[in-house]
């Protein structure tokens, strides 16, 4: 395999220029392996950056397949989608064309942690994604299973033991490439499990990837094992929805993409979700049949935040667990019971389902199942997602130990951009933790690694008041346009217009100033406290919960009326006003940490007894245990808060 490839020293150009008797071997700038959520984004991003790209995947008709939940987004995940969109990625736009129920989660909390989410029509998503991928300029799509990598001598100016220069397919044919992106999801030595039965598969109905897994292991990559699972699917007409709590979608629907003002479907035409709960009978069936359930016994770790019903019953006995009944699509007869991921034998799954309220007569159409698969320790990749071991080889998606479509898409777009930049000898495109959730995700993976499926949460981001879903375009679109070339002119112009409109709007709102008593008269709806009738700027008035731009523009039509014309602009001005003062302080702190990320921490610092710096006992213990060398390394230790980092930074600077 590798040795053979190395000794052959395939060089693409010799194949093209030379010997007419030699069979023609295709040669691309970037080859992406896998047409899942990471692979589609990677391939499209590389092509947008101007690279001639090939997407090689098992089956074209599974491109865009949602292997598990029929939904996208949520808390933290919605943020990732906005960032993917800001870089002109696909999934947000496709979700705006394919959703059946759009709802923003966490509405009662501040807009920094709102979670854009939608139930998605599986069939439509797949159709729309395939249409997009098959019509992307510079992108070729080919069916095939990749078995091996072609390796050549490494470039001396870069680290790495080998350099990838192409791939070998299962039929022995080869494709040469300047960069290769691997996005094989749950397919590396994938095994699916129901009850005591196990058989090799990447997901139900798909062959696993064995050859490639062996190649990676032989090359010296550290491989681990993880598991996940999916619930059974239930016939819609067999459910008694009338006795269950109904959840209706938002009105209006908030699109995922910055370039869309609306989604494809009106709120009144969208489908509802319903809520039911497990009960002690469910616990009983799970506990009595543990001996028939080999997935539960496997030592591989499963997703902590999307656990199977078996793990929930074992970890939290005697509790009722939520089961959301989610539509699978506009004309689908199936319902996805979210929260009921299970690997019991099929007949016991059906028995379990029918003891749940509303599901007494439910018909199970497809049983739930588990999947166990290899992943590669993500500490083996750089922040640009290139591997340390093999130059020009990039990993993205579930192969890096993550779970979820959004985490996969986010890595895909970064890997695609960097695979393309590498070909053009351009510097890597890296997003820092202070710039985006994508930065948080990749930094967590590459510095800390993971031993359980990693998913994104807002709590993982230190600077979440700045990394909001509403401002992902201001954070990333300009960089994507200028440094990577992955952003279209149309999107760049829209982001530029939005940025200047916001700046202008904020400065106008700052310039309008009246005594608070006058504001009270102008906007009686607002609970403005008059006190000593101090001067208040319109921007300060906009911070009141009950005030929006519309109300403000009624009070001061000129010059504010024009800011009511665009819904997104009006909402963003309100959000900017809400966070103005906290953000100012946070921006200063971000700059301070960014400036001093490389600042060395004294080797002999005794964190446990340190008196002159305010640190919690927990933070002291973590620093004591990890002994970070720099402020940057300290800020990446889970549980060491941004406030602690600022205190530590200031302390170290004063003592140096
Ligand atoms: P995938 O979407 O899996 O795509 C991999 C692609 O690579 C496929 O198109 C495959 O055909 C192709 N491929 C693989 N090997 C080769 C090869 N050698 N040559 C060519 N092509 C190849 N996520 C959650 O967030 N929560 C869950 O509860 C959850 N449960 C899941 C349950 C199951 C049973 C499965 C299968 C997945 C589950 N997921 C869940 C994970 C979610 O589906 C993934 O996180 C997401 O799809 C990962 O995207 P990806 O692009 O990395 O891989």
Which position has the token pair 């700046």?
Answer: 503
Give the position, in ligand 1's atom list, of the atom nearest the Cα of 34.
7
Of the pLDDT bands very low, low, confident and very high (cuts 50, 70, 90), residue 5 is: very low
> How far is C-alpha 135 from the geometric centre of its chain's CA atoms?
24
Q: Is 397 in the pocket of ligand 1 (CB under 6 A)?
A: yes
Give the helix/strand (H/E) hosting 129.
helix 122-134
Q: Long-range pairs for 544-552 at CB < 8 Å and ≥24 separation?
A: 547/523, 548/574, 549/573, 549/574, 551/523, 551/525, 551/526, 552/509, 552/523
Q: Is 401 in the pocket of ligand 1 (CB under 6 A)?
A: no
Burial (Cβ within 10 Å: 0-12, 13-18, ≥19) of residue 493:
exposed
Cα torsion for 244, 250, 251, 255, to the nearest 10°?
Answer: -150
The residue that leads in pLDDT, 546 or 459, is 546
Give the helix/strand (H/E) hosting 101.
strand 99-105
Percent with pLDDT over 70 in the chain: 95
Question: Do 182 and 415 contact (CB within 8 A), yes or no?
Answer: no
Q: Is 169 in the pocket of ligand 1 (CB under 6 A)?
A: no
**CB-hemisphere CA count at 13 Å for 173?**
12
Q: How far apart are CA 4 and CA 90, in angstroms?
A: 38
**Which value, in Å, is the radius of gyration of the alpha carbons in the chain?**
26
The residue that leads in pLDDT, 281 or 434, is 281
ipTM of the complex: 0.97
Question: Minimum mean pLDDT among 82-91, 442-451, 527-536: which range?
Answer: 527-536
Q: How far apart are CA 198 and CA 564, in angstroms?
A: 59
Of the pLDDT bands very low, low, confident and very high (cuts 50, 70, 90), residue 299 is: low
Question: Is residue 422 reached through a cis peptide bond, with omega within 30 degrees of 0 on the bond before it?
Answer: no
Q: Quick one: average pLDDT of 204-227?
A: 93
> Pick from 397, 411, 568, 574: which is nearest to 494 by CA?
568
Q: What is the pLDDT of residue 298?
A: 67
> Pick from 153, 161, 29: which is nearest to 425 by CA?
29
Q: Is 93 in the pocket of ligand 1 (CB under 6 A)?
A: no
Q: What is the largest CA-CA distance in the chain?
A: 92
Q: Is 145 in the pocket of ligand 1 (CB under 6 A)?
A: yes
pLDDT tens per residue across span 331-365: 999 999 999 999 999 999 999 999 999 999 999 99
Mean pLDDT of the chain: 91
Question: Do 372 and 225 contact (CB within 8 A), yes or no?
Answer: yes
38 alpha carbon – ligand 1 mean position (Å): 9
**Nearest CA, atom 40, ligand 1:** 404
405-423 and 77-86 helices, crossing angle to 10°:
30
Q: What is the pLDDT of residue 13?
A: 34
Question: Do 282 and 316 contact (CB within 8 A), yes or no?
Answer: no
Give the position, in ligand 1's atom list, of the atom nearest the Cα of 306.
28
Give the position, in ligand 1's atom list, of the atom nearest the Cα of 369.
34
Question: Do 190 and 204 contact (CB within 8 A), yes or no?
Answer: no
Which position has the token pair 């952003």?
Answer: 487
> How far is C-alpha 2 from the geometric centre of its chain's CA atoms?
33
Q: Is 403 in the pocket of ligand 1 (CB under 6 A)?
A: yes
**Nearest CA, atom 10, ligand 1:** 34
Does the pLDDT at position 593 exceed 90?
no
Q: Is 306 in the pocket of ligand 1 (CB under 6 A)?
A: yes
Q: Partners of 515 in the beta sheet? A: 535
451 alpha carbon – ligand 1 mean position (Å): 18
Q: How far apart are CA 79 and CA 229, in angstroms?
A: 24
Q: Is 372 in the pocket of ligand 1 (CB under 6 A)?
A: no
16 alpha carbon – ligand 1 mean position (Å): 35
625 alpha carbon – ligand 1 mean position (Å): 36
Of the pLDDT bands very low, low, confident and very high (cuts 50, 70, 90), residue 305 is: low
Of the pLDDT bands very low, low, confident and very high (cuts 50, 70, 90), residue 498 is: very high
Give the position, in ligand 1's atom list, of the atom nearest the Cα of 407.
45
* Token duo for residue 521: 């008269």
65 alpha carbon – ligand 1 mean position (Å): 9
pLDDT tens per residue across span 130-144: 999 999 999 999 999
């Amino acid at each position: 395999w590798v040795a053979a490839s190395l000794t052959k020293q395939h060089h693409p150009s010799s194949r093209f220029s030379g010997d007419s008797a030699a069979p023609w071997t295709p040669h691309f700038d970037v080859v992406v392996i896998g047409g899942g959520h990471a692979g589609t984004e990677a391939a499209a991003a590389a092509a947008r950056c101007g690279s001639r790209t090939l997407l090689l995947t098992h089956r074209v008709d599974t491109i865009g397949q949602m292997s598990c939940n029929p939904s996208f987004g949520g808390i933290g995940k919605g943020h990732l989608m906005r960032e993917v969109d800001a870089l002109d990625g696909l999934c947000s736009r496709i979700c705006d064309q394919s959703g059946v129920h759009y709802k923003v989660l966490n509405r009662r909390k501040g807009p920094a942690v709102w979670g854009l989410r939608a139930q998605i029509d599986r069939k439509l998503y797949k159709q729309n994604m395939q249409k997009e991928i098959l019509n992307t300029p510079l992108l070729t799509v080919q069916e095939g299973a990749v078995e091996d990598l072609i390796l050549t001598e490494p470039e001396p100016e870069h680290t790495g033991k080998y350099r990838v220069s192409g791939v070998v397919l299962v039929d022995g044919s080869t494709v040469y490439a300047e960069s290769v992106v691997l996005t094989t999801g749950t397919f590396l030595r994938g095994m699916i499990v129901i009850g005591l039965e196990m058989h090799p598969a990447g997901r139900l109905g798909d062959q696993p990837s064995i050859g490639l897994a062996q190649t990676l292991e032989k090359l010296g990559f550290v491989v681990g094992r993880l598991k996940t699972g999916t619930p059974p699917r239930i016939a819609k007409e067999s459910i008694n929805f009338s006795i269950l709590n109904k959840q209706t979608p938002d009105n209006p629907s908030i699109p995922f993409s910055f370039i869309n003002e609306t989604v494809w479907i009106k709120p009144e035409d969208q489908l509802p979700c319903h809520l039911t709960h497990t009960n002690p009978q469910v616990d009983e069936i799970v506990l009595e049949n543990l001996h028939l359930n080999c997935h539960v016994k496997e030592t591989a770790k499963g997703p902590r935040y999307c656990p199977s019903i078996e793990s929930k019953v074992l970890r939290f006995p005697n509790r009722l667990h939520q089961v959301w009944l989610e539509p699978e699509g506009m004309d689908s007869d199936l319902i996805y019971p979210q929260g009921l991921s299970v690997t019991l034998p099929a007949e016991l799954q059906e028995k379990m389902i029918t003891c749940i309220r509303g599901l007494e007569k439910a018909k199970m159409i497809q049983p739930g199942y588990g999947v166990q698969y290899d992943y590669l320790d993500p500490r083996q990749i750089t922040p640009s997602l290139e591997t340390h071991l093999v130059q020009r080889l990039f990993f993205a998606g579930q192969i890096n130990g993550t779970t979820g479509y959004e985490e996969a898409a986010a890595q895909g777009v970064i890997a695609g951009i960097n695979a393309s930049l590498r070909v053009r000898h351009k510097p890597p495109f890296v997003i820092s933790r202070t710039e985006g959730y994508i930065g948080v995700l990749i930094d967590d993976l590459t510095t800390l690694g993971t031993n359980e499926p990693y998913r994104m949460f807002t709590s993982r981001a230190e600077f979440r008041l700045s990394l909001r879903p509403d401002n992902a375009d201001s954070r990333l679109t300009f960089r994507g346009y200028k440094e990577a070339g992955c952003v279209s002119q149309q999107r760049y112009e829209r982001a530029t217009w939005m940025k200047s409109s916001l700046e202008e709007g904020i400065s106008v709102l700052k310039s309008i100033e009246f005594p608070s008593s006058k504001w009270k008269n102008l906007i009686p709806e607002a609970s403005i406290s008059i006190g000593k009738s101090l001067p208040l700027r319109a921007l300060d008035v906009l911070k009141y919960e009950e005030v929006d731009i519309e109300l403000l523009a009624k009070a001061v039509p000129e010059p504010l009326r024009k800011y009511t014309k665009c819904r997104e602009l009006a909402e963003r001005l309100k959000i900017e006003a809400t966070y103005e003062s906290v953000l100012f302080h946070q921006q200063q702190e971000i700059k301070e940490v960014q400036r001093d990320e490389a600042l060395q921490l004294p080797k002999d610092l005794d964190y446990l007894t340190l008196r002159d710096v305010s640190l919690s006992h927990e933070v002291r213990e973590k620093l004591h245990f990890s002994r970070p060398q720099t402020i940057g390394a300290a800020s990446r230790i889970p549980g060491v808060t941004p406030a602690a980092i600022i205190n530590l930074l200031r302390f170290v600077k004063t003592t140096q």
